[in-house]
Structure 1
């Protein structure tokens, strides 16, 4: 009578313990449950939405970056023009001062011919201011202005142009700064939506449905928060 000896499983045949481990860690060996399919579907939807939002944010950031460059260039050009007209005003004012001093010297020397000659050659701005200054009787009135150059009647077109271009430069600079700030905000949104891609991408990769759903929930919350912020931003 022979005794039956226990047969050991073949090396290539998985045991019950091996099958339980495999079932736990390799979900592909079993059929996907309905909840798993929902996780995969929602993950795909979240990834698609996050991809679109990321691309849109990057696109808007690029547009506002271009606006910032254009406005900053316009501001620099306006600043150059303002400096140009301001320099011209200084030169003209210096010429007027020399002409006025020569005229005043002719008056003090009672050289009527030279006085009339110089006065007739006063530019309009200097002549208007000089007439208003003479009307204040500066020789006998201690409250009279010290010269026609400090009076409101003395106005140069170049000074006005310099102020106008400087104001334009400040407006364009403000536009550039605003566009730069908006571009930076869209860059931050791009990073935010990229994190949604991460959470949506790893959802469904775990063997725990709780963890998978947690990744989806976190990604969805971040996406909705980013979308809410996006809707408050200016768009082109």
Structure 2
């Protein structure tokens, strides 16, 4: 058999080998992208749950601070009335029942000559739950942003799955009974798209 007759056969075998290799690698990459999309989707759900939990706790802490402020306000109102009435015994009685947080602000208010409108406007007054509410709200915001980021990462891997599906399509079409140059073009396009997909995938974070 002459070389001219064996050359097309050899080229066809090479194309078949490359096609099988590309199909196998692309199938693995597609499965990997699907796995990563699922993992990041799970991370998104966890982050959203944590954000929701932190938001609920922040609301509870804000309620605690609001209740404490109302209690302190009612006590201070009674103190003002007792002082105006000149009832020192009642005034002392009320002062002994100030909450620790309000007592600190009240002492600072008196030490400052009572120039401010009241202890509540001073920085020293921090009812219980105030700091916790701020911290929990910040945590909720951070977790929410993290959830959105994880969602985008999952979407990115899902898009790569579509890209690798295109590689599978082009590679499978190259196996059809067609002219050798058509097979080479389809396979070449599939390889190029696959390489681009791999390069993009290497820039994405991995979650195991």
TM range (shorter): over 0.9
Quote the Cα distance in structure 2 between the aligned partners of 1:51 and 1:89: 57
Determine which structure has the larger helix proportion and give its number.
2
The residue aligned with 2:145 is 174
The gaps in structure 2 that reach 5 residues or longer are 1-7
Larger radius of gyration: 1
Matched, 1:220 2:196: no
SS in 2 for 1:33: helix
Alignment of 1:81-92 (within 5 A): 81-92=57-68
Question: Match for residue 22 of structure 1?
Answer: none
Residue aligned with 1:87, SS: helix
The equivalent of 1:115 in structure 2 is: 91
TM superposition shift of 1:204: 2.8
1:49-198 matched pairs, under 5 angstroms: 49-138=25-114, 144-198=115-169
Any conservation in 2 of the 1:133–1:145 contact (CA below 8 Å)?
A: yes
Q: TM-score, normalised by structure 1?
A: 0.83
In the alignment, structure 1 segments of 5+ residues that lack a partner are 1-31, 139-143
Whole-Å Cα distance in 2 between the matches of residues 118 and 82 of structure 1? 31
Paired residue total: 201
TM-score normalised over the length of structure 2: 0.93
Contact 1:36 1:204 in 2 (8 A): no
